[in-house]
Amino acid sequence: MPFENRVDAGRELARALERYRKDSVVVLALPRGGVPIAAEVAAALNAPLDLVLVRKIGFPPQPELAMGAVVDGADPIIVRNEDVIRMTGVSEAEFDDVCRRELAEIERRRTRYLGSRAPVEIAGRTAIVIDDGLATGATMRAALRALRKRVPSKMVLAVPVAPSDTLRQMRGDADEIVCLEDHEFFHAIGGYYSDFRQVSDEELISILARHREPAPVSTEKDSG
């Protein structure tokens, strides 16, 4: 049965992740579709919400064909799809040029969505990484590999729906996978939602503003 919309899927996913409520959790969303879902999880677990900004590295004549993916950060992570690179005959210079363009777009989006807001610290915490679904898993795999460098104590991949074979291939990329529905014969992600309208930038920015990292509580006594 299809999910009503991303909020509905997020509430169901939050119930499946309830056991993490007492842990030190950070919820990380892949924008834009993962954000409304992750917001429901963050609210249920009383956890901060942050973004993982990932861009597909598309073959220039056919951008939907993924040669890999890139994740931003001080040390950007690039995941290569060697089969596609070999099949298309793309040179290293061409590949690097697309990478540079996608990193520039990531930086533009980070400024647009988060302004000067610093990333939430995930070292030593449980990182729950969320999208509205998986297809090939290439983008999510890049995100998980980049987040490993930030040393979370545990990494959980959580999605409402995904192909069974993609989940099997990703078992080594996360410490745990939570998926509400997996299908051997998988169609487009939107086919599993009654309402799969695009999430606007304005909606995304508004959601993020409501789910900031709580400020630490001061234990010092007032002087004077």
Per-residue pLDDT tens digits for 162-179: 999 999 999 999 999 999
The maximal CA–CA distance of the chain, rounded, in angstroms, is 72
Domain boundary among 113, 136, 157: 113
Mean pLDDT, rounded, of the chain? 90
Smallest Cα–Cα separation from 5: which of 29, 33, 31, 41? 33
Q: What is the mean pLDDT of residues 16-21?
A: 96
Domain count, the chain: 2
Which CATH number does the domain housing residue 140 bear?
3.40.50.2020
More confident residue, 157 or 70: 157
Residues 87 and 192 in one domain: no
pLDDT on residue 139: 83
pLDDT on residue 211: 81
Residues 174 and 106 in one domain: no
Residues 101 and 141 in one domain: no
In a domain, 65, yes or no: yes
Q: What is the mean pLDDT of residues 128-155?
A: 91
Residues 84 and 171 in one domain: no
Structural domain boundaries enclosing 11 = 6-52+119-209
Residues 6+ apart with CB under 8 A from 59: 65, 66, 67, 84, 88, 90
Q: How far is the C-alpha of 167 from the C-alpha of 182, rounded, in Å?
A: 8
| Helix H or strand E encompassing 82 | helix 82-88
pLDDT in tens, 45-104: 999 999 999 988 999 999 888 898 888 766 778 888 899 999 999 999 999 999 999 999
Residues 48 and 61 in one domain: no
